[in-house]
Amino acid sequence: MSTEGSLSGLPVVWHEDCLRHDPAGEVWLGQRDAGTEVPARATAILRALTAAGATVVPPQVHDRDALLAVHDQGLVDHLATIWADWTAGGYPREYGRDRVVPYVFPTPALLAGMPPRVPAATHAQPGLYCYDTMTLIGPGSWEAIQAAADCARTAAALLIEGTSAAYALCRPPGHHAGPAGYGGSCYLNNAAIAAQALRTAGAGTVAVIDIDAHHGNGTQSIFYNRADVFYGSVHVDPAAGWFPHYLGFADETGSGAGRGWTRNIPLAPGTGDDAWLTAVGQLCARARGAEAVVLSLGVDAAAADPESPLQVTAAAYHQAGELVGRIAPVAAVQEGGYDVASLGEYVVATLRGVQSGRARASA
Ligand SMILES: [Zn+2]
């Protein structure tokens, strides 16, 4: 197996607005921490891809319809306006709350069967859409959220035009964002936006293969009832105490028409290359026949990553990319990956694998 070779010809879709999102940390267990979803992640990946010979292309700007194809209007409007409302309400200046953070959540326990209303107070509104306290919004967040979605949508457009593989350097990531809610450092679901664009353009079925170390609960929720987009994920077992805690179990397999169109393979903490690659292979076998693949490319399964206990090497990510590349044309979308020192190497290795798999598929 070779992980060498140039990435020449592989379009990397990127916009500098993705750096404007500065969540200034996260509130975890009631304390503000520095957080790991930082702009340096994107610049490290961009540097590695450029050094490997990839071609950087700008995204096309898409209208709201591309977002509303997978998200509720309320969520999109909230993300677009809450920072302006927050500052107009004086929260940073008068109360020292320099980022948008929810504090009350309309859980089933609170509502007791009553429908949720949109609360009057600005500070009560984030909890209607944001399901955790880690996913803050500040100046520049909406510009980055839109740019990331545009990058993913553009990678899909490149496939529609006949490109065999493309990569969207999305920041913030997206796979924890569902139809009507955000969390897990994700705001809009970039991978789902790409998958839906491919379906709308005529791809018969689309497979989303999610190799981020965490379950992509948002992507699963968006396609859970559908029999046109397969969602397959390998991730650290939520039953072992890992985010997103409530979703990502093996018995979640889709519902209604979508029964059998979701496949979760949870792995024990500490799992390394062999079992991880076996799981990726199982997802790819199930995805065979799809006309396009969206690869939710989180590299936080890396051994050095601070956010997950999986122990996967860059060589295994290369092999995973090759397995995915053999299925169909691939739009890879950046998800997590928080070890800034190594994530560029992992992304490059995976994309080289994708190119190798595509070459074999067309040979
Ligand atoms: Zn992750």
Q: Exposure of 230 by Cβ count < 10 A (0-12 exposed, 13-18 middle, 19+ buried)? A: buried
**Bridge pairing between strands 31-33 and 11-13:** unpaired
- Ranges assigned E (strand) in 188-319: 206-210, 229-236, 262-267, 292-297
Band the pLDDT of 5: cuts 50, 70, 90: low
**pLDDT confidence of 3, banded at 50, 70, 90?**
low
pLDDT of residue 8: 85
Separation CA 57–CA 74 (nearest Å): 31
pLDDT tens sequence across 102-141: 999 999 999 999 999 999 999 999 999 999 999 999 999 9
Residue type (1 letter), 60? Q
* Ligand 1 center–CA 35 separation, angstroms: 13
pTM, full prediction: 0.97
Answer for the pair 129, 101: CB distance below 8 angstroms, yes or no: no
Q: What tens digit of pLDDT does each residue of 190-233 get?
A: 999 999 999 999 999 999 999 999 999 999 999 999 999 999 99
Nearest to 100 by CA among 74, 73, 127: 127
pLDDT at 363: 79
Stretch 288-316: mean pLDDT, rounded?
98
- How far, in Å, from the CA of 185 to the mean position of ligand 1? 9
Distance CA(35)–CA(354), nearest Å, equals 30
Catalytic residues: 176
307 Cα–ligand 1 center, Å: 7
DSSP letter assigned to residue 182: B
The whole-number pLDDT of residue 4 equals: 63
> Residue 308 C-alpha to ligand 1 middle, in angstroms?
7
Q: What spacing in Å lies between the alpha carbon of 336 and ligand 1's midpoint?
A: 4
pLDDT of residue 56: 97
Per DSSP (E only), the strands in 102-169 are 165-168
Residues 47-66 pLDDT 10s: 999 999 999 999 999 989 99
Instruction: Decide: 149 and 18 in contact? Cβ < 8 Å.
Output: no
Q: Ligand 1: distance of its center to the CA of 88 in Å?
A: 33
Q: What is the pLDDT of residues 228-253, one digit of tens each?
A: 999 999 999 999 999 999 999 999 99
User: Quick one: what percent of the chain has pLDDT higher than 70?
Assistant: 99
Structure token digits, residue 283? 């997802």
How buried is residue 250: exposed, middle or buried, by Cβ count under 10 Å (0-12/13-18/19+)?
A: exposed
Asked whether the predicted pLDDT for residue 2 surpasses 50, the reply is no
Task: Give Cα 278 to chain centroid, integer Å.
Answer: 22
Q: In angstroms, what is the C-alpha Rg of the chain?
A: 19
Give the Å distance between the CA of 299 and the centre of ligand 1: 8
Q: What is the mean pLDDT of the chain?
A: 96
pLDDT of residue 1: 39
